[in-house]
Chains A and B, each alone.
Chain A
Amino acid sequence: MEFTCLSEGRGFYFPPCHILDICGFRVLLDCPMDLSSLTMFMPVPTDSFTMCNGEITSRSCQRSMDLDSNENKRRKINKPFDESSLIRAEPRYKIIKNLLLWDVSSIDVVLISSPMGILGLPFLTCNKDFSAKVYATEAAARFGQLMMEDLVTMHKEFRQVYGSEGSVSPQWMKWEELELLPSELKEIALGKDGSELAGWMSLYSAADVKDCMQKIQSLKYAEEVFYNGTLIIKAFASGLEIGTCNWSIICPKGSIAYLSSSVLTSATAMCLDYTSLQRNDVIIYADFTPCHASNKSSDDNNGPSTADPNLSVGNVDWEAIADDYQEMEKLDFICSCSMDSIKAGGSVLIPVGRIGMVLQLLERIALCLESQNLKFPIFIVSSVAEELMAYTNVIPEWLNKQRQDRLYSGQQLFNHVKLLNDKRLQLFPAIHSLKLLTNWKEPCIVFCPHWSLRLGPVVHLLRRWCRDENSILVMEEGVDSNLALLPFRPMKMKVLQCSFLSGIELQFSQHLLKTLQPRHVLFPEKLRQHVDLPKNLFSSSYYSEDETLNVPNLEENSELDIAVDLALQLHYTTLKQENIRVARLKGELALEQGKYRLLLGNDQVVSSQVRSAVHLGRIELDVLLTELRKNGLNITVEEIMSADGLHKTSLVHVLEPQKATIEITKAQTLICTANNDLACQISEVVSSLLDCI
């Protein structure tokens, strides 16, 4: 088994990506894309920002004239890093460059652990060599589909402005242009070593998304699927988001658990199911969250967990260390800030991409409004808002216990159903939709995509409100706010940046691994110094990006089930040495449900007619001679050395009862005689000195 980390990712929106070679199959774990790199592009120009348009034309004029390129260059370099430094072109999208180094046709299975892990998949599936089976939980697949459809719709706006770019690579991707980029953007465009330029792709089409979805087999919770009869694949809740999952992969040689970013208790999604991941041979720990947490690990002196080593393994009371109330506090803070703004006449803009967060904020903000008897409207502006809201209310199977209890007590899973019925919440497909124009009221609270602040309704609303000091923008931490807000400067609008829990916290990871009781753990090198893995409980190896690791600890043997009726038919012999009994196998080998099975086939004829025994061992000449003499043969011996003097041949001449020669070398005994009975007699003597299977 081999494991290669293609990308460590960057937090919630850009999950890690790995390749796992197991039992002869190649498994791709997630296929995300890096949407945060969209920030190096200028958002779609609009009428109110006509100066942008002006800029474009003047720039293109410059380019066409391009009389003094040196001067032009110098001017650009000397320019301060501001809004005009952003690239004005149809954006491209950055996929994992390491993935491009792999042959698409060699991938057998793709496992998708979250809706974010699906976003790069159409780039693969539109390749005609792509033949892998893709598995995703039904909720992750559905949310992923909606996100991709939304992305395609939002991107259309750029096409309308810049026209279709065609197949030629855009101007900004030319080396001379790239060199002129300010260092902040250069790193996004090229990566640290300049290798990431290859990862920029032009966005897939709606047809590509549709095609991609058709290649996905969506799974129910903990549904068992058999890939090629060999791999048993199961998804268990990871708690991060609705439908996100960890994977358990069982093959005849052992079991592996893939632990993606997980959350112990979630306010919406089904919580981390760690019991189902217990006692696997290998755990791939792929939760990089602490790496991306902004200032946590640096000033956290007691980073390495100082947990009591005697803590009982197995029955940890996870509820006790629930982190969920911290999350509640954050939400409450967002709500109270929002209330302050809206009461002051400003609007609230929440371009958060986490579905779970949106649903919770919706409920809490509505509750706040109600409790303070405020009648401000809440809008969701997105091309997929309607589907998203409808879908979240029909998937009790993927929600946490509290939400499921609402089903049992006959309440709607989420309050937004009621909000919609009461018209307190309204859904609009787009910023320019007729429905929006007729129903729009300010101040209001708006949820909309996209968190990069480059695509979709958020761009237009930000431009509308960025000078309004009463309005507030709720952003997530992890997005480079400096860069993200660049096109909207100067910002008078308040910006609330908050981080949400998006993985296992460092101090619990050791704990969790102890509970899972694996035999071996693959752990990120980056987290090595922060976590002391207990060496006495399991072995571990550390991985980093772009490195292939051999996983040593799987079973040496695969499990084979031999049908009892067949086992009884085998012909056992005891070997001359070491007291070992052996039998030659027969029957038909089948691979059923991840198990090798040897069944009684219709090969009886073969075994009786064709199968030949193999003789093992060596003929000791002295013993042979004694045995032959015992059988009443009259013999003489002659030894011949081969020409090179390396091989010795013994020749035994049988004089009576009939003439025969026995030629013995290390690997062969050749019996020459014209007499059937004598040949038989001699061969029996020879056989008796060897092990015959």
Chain B
Amino acid sequence: MAIECLVLGAGQEVGKSCVVVTINDKKIMFDCGMHMGYSDNRRYPDFSLISKSGDFNNSLTCIVVTHFHLDHIGALPYFTEVCGYNGPIYMTYPTKALAPLMLEDNRKVVDRRGEEEQFSSEQILECMKKVTAVDLKQTVQVDKDLQIRAYYAGHVLGAAMFYARVGDAAIVYTGDYNMTPDRHLGAAQIDRLQLDLVITESTYATTYRDSKYAREREFLKTVHKCVAGGGKVLIPTFALGRAQELCMLLDDYWEQMNLKVPIYFSAGLTLQANMYYKMLINWTSQKVKDTYATRNAFDFKHVCSFDRSLINAPGPCVLFATPGMISGGFSLEVFKQWAPYESNLITLPGYCVAGTIGHKLMSAKTPVRINIDKDTQIDVRCQIHQLSFSPHTDAKGILDLVKFLSPKNVILVHGEKPKIAKLKEKVQSELGIQCFDPANNETVSIPFTTHYEKVGASDALLRSTLSPNLKFLRKCSEQGSDFSDLDVRTKPGLQVFDDRMAEGILMVQRNQKTKALHQDELMAMLGVESHEIKFANCCPVDIANSDTRNAFLSQPTVDKSFWQHLLFEKLSSKFPETSIQDYGEHLQIESFYVSVCTKEMCPHRTASLQCMPETVYFCCTWSIADEKLAWEIISVIKNLLLKDE
């Protein structure tokens, strides 16, 4: 069995995110995005790779959309309304609420460009009706086997990472995420999960960013400088997300600095969007949430709506205009008017997809001439300020998340090819995790074996495992008995094991469920009892003429305990790795008991039943488990009076 990932978009590039993951016979499509940089058939994922016949309802189990950005949701109405997918679609509440705004905004831009319309407003609404909204951490049982769950991803309002589990196989698809909190959103949050695979974005695969605070200051200073010099500031953004964050920032700053320069929201962008934000305040950062009852952070004081006639009105202003990346529409219109003047400023917040004007500006040095289309060229003389304000995590964040989740495999998507390759290298070398960076339309297959066999476990067994069953093992050091003190410290002589399952028995019976039970239960069930096999040997040691005896014979204390003690010493030096207990009456080594036998007629004595006067008897018993050890000890006993070496 394997987990198969077919990357339909965002493979070694940014744009049209779409990954189809197959676990067992479940097929989940994560994201269904469009590419902002193309207007031909490359703009949508190649859905024919999922099903040649176009029968998507039977081939896909469900679609999961992580957030409302067009490169993650842009193709969804096309897929449901044009391609005919009717199955379940999941996204968070804010995504469901805000996605239609984004889709509609984009549809208008496409419309204005005079391109062929891919889907209508009605189709967007029809598509959204098929969506099931989910809450964070809500565990959704899609069908009997497939479970999905959303986790907070930061990035934009309602962005989520999705966990999906089929049987014992589990994966996480991150979508876009942010590991540091920003002005209105919290940082991504996820549980420690047991995962076979993590599919993560890697927009900033090689970037390490400094603190956000410095970037915010820089942004505010640049904007302030521009308006102070009478310039106009254009901030091309998408309707939702960055616009609100930057607006909160500017609104606060204006308040602090007592600035009167107007801040405009272009139509489409909007005050209406703020309404959604107010209702979805639970999805914002803790700080914003805490204050909503008294003052909702999305009630902006200094913001008013923009009118087309204001484009060439005199005096400074700040304008937020859609769409972001200056890919067309109103932001392009304003750009054409403002770009030629040196006093003006264009601030690009965040990533611009290749093919957009924004992307051209990012790498340009002013003054520069830019081709807008084949007929139009613009001389750009204004300042370009690039804000590394994108709500994506940086390389450190990606590595942190992967390390935290410690999956068996990682797939990198949503990043530029050379950068992704570098990060892949890093994941493999630094974290030791198998990592892939497939291109579009490639499939990665991750082998996966069923991890577990399911059996029934009895109460008695589970109860017996509640208490520890500690076993002590003396570890033999390599140098034998004469290791130095230092060695003892570095290599503990004693190891402790907790062997709780030792009394558990797995019972396999034909036509019955395999069962794990306690050995006592098995015996009761079979009606048998345990039968112990033990050994005994009363071992004679001739002490006549022995030096030891003679040396001590004068003393009256030569008795039972003397011999026992002598044996103890000897055994201790012979078996340094085993623990020898001296209980006075007898010595014990594991199951081996030995005591000095004073009986006249010991039944365990086989050599001679007669008690010899010059002989000490060591009566030994042991059980079958220690058979080997026992005979070794007996040979020591027999040679008790021989000098070592």
Contact = CB atoms under 8 A, between A and B. Distances in A.
Interface of A: 219-224, 234, 252, 276, 386-387, 390-391, 393-397, 404, 407-408, 410, 412-413, 555-564, 567, 570, 572, 575, 577-589, 592, 596-598, 603, 605-607, 609-619, 658-661, 663, 666-674, 676, 679-680, 683, 686-687, 690-691, 693
B441 interface: no
Contacts of A671: 533-536
A394 B537 contact: no
Interface stretch (B41-49, B63-71, B343-351, B621-629): B621-629
A219 B632 CA distance: 63
Interface in B510-564: 510, 513, 515-516, 519, 522-523, 526, 528-539
Contacts of A557: 456-459, 513, 515
B454 A408 contact: no
Interface string B128-145: 100001011111110000
B453 interface: yes
Interface in B104-151: 128, 133, 135-141, 149
B144 to A, nearest CB: 10
Contacts, number: 263
B457 A611 contact: no
A667 B292 contact: no
B506 A617 contact: no
Given A222-B140, A667-B531, A589 B135 contact: no
B160 to A, nearest CB: 12
6 cross-chain pairs, A with B, having the tightest CB-CB distances, nearest first: A557-B456, A612-B625, A585-B504, A561-B452, A560-B457, A223-B137
A675 B169 CA distance: 57
B451 A564 contact: yes
A390 B293 contact: yes
B504 to A, nearest CB: 4
Contacts of B279: 393-394, 396, 407, 412-413
Contact of B280 (A219, A396, A676): A396
Given A412-B279, A557-B515, A614 B530 contact: yes
Given A222-B138, A615-B532, A606 B499 contact: yes
A668 B531 contact: yes
Given A396-B93, A564-B450, A585-B505, A686 B603 contact: no
B502 interface: yes
Contact of B532 (A222, A559, A597, A667): A667
28 contacts: A224-B137, A224-B139, A224-B149, A276-B141, A393-B279, A394-B292, A397-B282, A557-B459, A558-B456, A559-B455, A560-B457, A570-B506, A580-B526, A584-B506, A585-B502, A585-B504, A586-B501, A588-B500, A598-B501, A605-B495, A609-B473, A612-B625, A616-B523, A618-B528, A661-B606, A670-B536, A671-B533, A679-B627
B466 to A, nearest CB: 9
A320 B494 CA distance: 72
Interface of B: 93, 96-97, 100, 128, 133, 135-141, 149, 194, 272, 275-276, 278-282, 292-293, 449-459, 462, 465, 471, 473, 495, 497-502, 504-510, 513, 515-516, 519, 522-523, 526, 528-539, 591, 603-604, 606-607, 621, 623-625, 627, 631, 634
Contact of B526 (A404, A572, A589, A616): A616
A683 B535 contact: yes
B452 A221 contact: no
Contacts of B519: 614, 693
Contact of B504 (A395, A407, A584): A584
A581 B204 CA distance: 57
B612 to A, nearest CB: 15
A597 B627 contact: no
A390 B292 contact: yes
Contact of B93 (A407, A614, A617): A407
A610 B499 contact: yes
Contacts of B528: 616-618, 691
B531 A587 contact: no
Nearest to A586: B501
Contacts of A612: 591, 623-625
A596 B138 contact: no
A241 B509 CA distance: 51
B457 to A, nearest CB: 4
A222 B624 contact: no
B526 A577 contact: yes
Contact of B456 (A559, A582, A613, A693): A559
Contacts of B522: 582, 616
Contacts of A615: 530-533, 624
A308 B68 CA distance: 48
Nearest to B604: A672
Given A413-B279, A558-B457, A668-B534, A661 B603 contact: yes
Given A559-B457, A575-B526, A672 B139 contact: no
Nearest to A596: B457
Nearest to A412: B279
B606 A660 contact: yes
A567 B100 CA distance: 52
Contacts of A223: 135-139
A564 B282 contact: no
A555 B522 CA distance: 19
Nearest to A386: B293
A221 B451 CA distance: 30
Contacts of A222: 135, 138-140
Contacts of B100: 408
Contacts of A558: 456-459, 462
Nearest to B150: A220
Nearest to B538: A672
Nearest to A615: B531
Contact of A674 (B458, B502, B539): B539
Given A394-B280, A671-B533, A674-B537, 13 more contacts: A393-B279, A407-B276, A410-B275, A575-B526, A577-B526, A579-B509, A609-B473, A612-B623, A616-B531, A619-B531, A668-B532, A679-B631, A687-B624
A280 to B, nearest CB: 13
Contacts of A618: 528-529, 531
Contacts of A585: 501-502, 504-506, 516
Nearest to A611: B502
A221 B135 contact: yes
Contacts of A683: 533, 535, 624, 627
A366 to B, nearest CB: 19
A396 to B, nearest CB: 6
B96 A408 contact: yes
A581 B532 contact: no
Contacts of A669: 531-534
Contact of A560 (B293, B516, B604): B516
A687 B624 CA distance: 10
Contact of B452 (A386, A396, A555, A597): A597
Given A560-B455, A586-B502, A683-B624, A572 B532 contact: no
A587 B501 contact: yes
Given A221-B135, A582-B505, A589-B465, A606 B473 contact: yes
Contacts of B625: 612-613
